[in-house]
Amino acid sequence: MREERFFRPQDKKSGLQNDKKMERTRFCELAMSYQPQARKILTYGHPTLRVKCEPVREFNEDLRRLAADMFLTMTQSEGVGLAASQVDRTIMLLVVGVPQPESEERIRLAAVNPIIEETRGSWEYEEGCLSIPELRDMVTRPEWIKLRYQDLDGAPQVLEAGGMLARVLQHEIDHLNGVLFIDHLSPVRRALMKQKLKELERQNAGVCGL
Ligand code: CO
C-alpha cells in the first residue's frame, strides 16, 4: 500500500501494543548477514496478483531473505506495506512499515500466515496500491483488528491494531487472498478507473500469456 502522511487524531491512541514482539522481528532482521535486494513489483493485470497464496510451513532462510527483500522493495517504493504475491511469490507473507503520528519511527513488522480474528468499527479512507500505480479511491474497512500470525521464526503472535496500521494490514492480507482495493469499490467508482486499468492490463499482456 502506498505511503500516506495524514493521520486522524484518534490514530494517536491506536497502533502497536506489543513492542517486545516487534523487537524480536527486528532482531531477526539484524541477525542476518544477507544483503537484501529490491524485487520487481507486479502491476495490475499480472495473473499472480489474483492468486490465493499458500500458507508458509517452513520457516527457513529463504523466507527470511524474501522478507528482507520485501522490506527493501517497500521502502524504496515509498510503500507502507507489501505482500509476497506483489513480488511474484504466492506465499502468505506480508511486511508493513507504517509511520506513526508524531514520531520518526515506523512500525515495522513481518507477518506470516496472518488471520484476522476480530474486527471493530468502520472507517472510510483513501487507498492506493504499489501494484496499481496512479489510482486511488476511498475504501471502507474495519477501524480495529485483532490479528493472529507467525513471525519469521514461526512463533505464534497476536497483535491488536487500529488506525493506519490496521488499514495497511487489511490491505496486504487482501493481496494474499488475491483481492485488490479496487474490488471494494462500487461498480460506478470502478468504472471511472476502467481506462487506466485497461492500460495497466495491456502492459502485462505478454506476461499473462505465459
Ligand atoms: Co497493494
Q: Does residue 197 fall inside a structural domain?
A: yes
**Set of cell numbers at residue 145:** 483488528
Q: Does residue 5 fall inside a structural domain?
A: no
Mean pLDDT of the chain: 88
- The residue from 54, 134, 172, 199 that is catalytic is 172
3-state secondary structure of 200: helix
Q: Does residue 8 fall inside a structural domain?
A: no
Instruction: Give backbone dihedrals phi and psi of 114, rounded to 5 degrees, phi first.
Output: -75, 140
**Consecutive H or E run containing 136:** strand 132-141
pLDDT for 148-192, tens place per residue? 999 999 999 999 999 999 999 999 999 999 999 999 999 999 999
Is the separation of the CB atoms in 92 and 74 below 8 Å? no
H-helix segments, the chain: 19-30, 61-76, 163-176, 187-191, 194-203, 205-208
Report CA(14)–ligand 1 centroid distance (Å): 22
Question: What's the CATH number where 188 sits?
Answer: 3.90.45.10
Q: Does residue 10 fall inside a structural domain?
A: no
**Set of cell numbers at residue 38:** 529490491
Q: Does residue 143 fall inside a structural domain?
A: yes
Residue 23 reports pLDDT greater than 60 = no
207 band by pLDDT with thresholds 50, 70 and 90: low
Report CA(73)–ligand 1 centroid distance (Å): 13
pLDDT for 105-135, tens place per residue? 899 999 999 999 999 999 999 999 999 999 9
Q: pTM here?
A: 0.84
Report CA(107)–ligand 1 centroid distance (Å): 18
**Pick from 19-28, 155-164, 199-208: least confident:** 19-28
Domain coverage including residue 50: 15-208
Nearest to 148 by CA among 177, 112, 107: 112
Q: Does residue 115 fall inside a structural domain?
A: yes
Angle at 188 between CA 184 and CA 193, to 5 degrees: 75
- The total domain count for the chain is 1
> Is 172 one of the annotated active-site residues of the chain?
yes
Report CA(4)–ligand 1 centroid distance (Å): 13
Q: Does residue 129 fall inside a structural domain?
A: yes
Q: Does residue 154 fall inside a structural domain?
A: yes
Amino acid 102: pLDDT: 81
